[in-house]
Amino acid sequence: MKILKFGAAWCNECLVMRPMWDEIEKTFPELITEYYEADDNEELLKKYKIEDIPSFIFLDGDDNEVSRLQGVQNKDGLESKVREFLDK
């Protein structure tokens, strides 16, 4: 299970999310995340049909999308989603 995170250095919402993800990744060390800079990964944006950033794609063990979040999330809601994701 892993989460793909799409953002950009110029994106204010992405900058807001970065410290939240840092805390969540420390809380859940078993969580696998990969960050992709939107401006440098056009093929992945097309593959996952990313229209807005920040976007977070939750993938199962076979790399199939099981959930998606877009935009700024609150930390409690994001932690809850991660817990739910890891419990599957």
How many Å apart are CA 85 and CA 67, to the nearest integer?
9
CA distance 72 to 64: 23
* 11 is an active site residue: yes
Of the residues 3, 4, 5, 14, which is catalytic?
Answer: 14
Question: In the annotation, is 14 catalytic?
Answer: yes
Catalytic-labelled residue, pool 4, 11, 50, 57:
11
> How many degrees, rounded to 5, is the angle at CA 27 between CA 25 and CA 29?
60
Enzyme catalytic residues: 11, 14
